[in-house]
Amino acid sequence: MQRSATSPDRSTPVIVALGGNRCHGRHGRPEQVLQAAIRKLAKRGLRIERTSRILSTPPLGPSNRRYANSALKARWGGSAPELLSLLKALEREFGRRRGQRWGARVLDCDLIAFGQQSLHLHGLELPHPRLHQRDFVLRPMLEIWPDWRHPQRLQTVRQMLARLQKPKPSG
């Protein structure tokens, strides 16, 4: 169905964070895996508006391999659970198996924000509950949507990143 120039866009702006630190047999190094994942998401109905640079970040948790991290701003015409299902299916397609938390992985896709909505469903909390604590999510978000405002914290991406990077008092 085509949308006319005068009909309203009923899609929701979303933020998706992507990461990985293992090579893939077909797609190659983690940076190339993220690029391939973004192309596949676009083919599956996610209307991508902006993507951040791919950053190399230190691991969180037991993995000792650096991560490639990126984020994208897109529009989605379905529900948040439908988008989460698409992201998890893509992870499985790239060889993701549930196992060790924060372990090495080919692809990790996290739904970070679904417009300004706050959702608490089984297996889905939006905005992502640890978003404000993760430099490797906030830095890419700063490139694609710096003025997005967290609906509970009432802070923009810029403000959350500044607070996270603020030196902690010693002593």
Q: What is the DSSP letter of 126?
A: E
Euclidean distance between CA atoms 108 and 114, whole angstroms: 18
The confidence score (pLDDT) of residue 4 equals 47
The confidence score (pLDDT) of residue 150 equals 96
Q: pTM above 0.85?
A: yes
DSSP reduced 3-state for 162: helix
Whether 155 contacts 163, CB under 8 Å: yes
Q: Where do we find the tokens 């959350």?
A: 160
Q: What is the mean pLDDT of each run of 10 residues along the chain (171 residues)?
A: 58 96 91 97 97 91 84 97 96 78 80 94 91 95 96 95 86 58
Amino acid in the structure at residue 58: P
What's the helix, strand, coil split of the chain in %, to 5? Answer: 30, 25, 45
pLDDT in tens, 102-132: 567 899 999 999 999 999 988 899 999 999 9
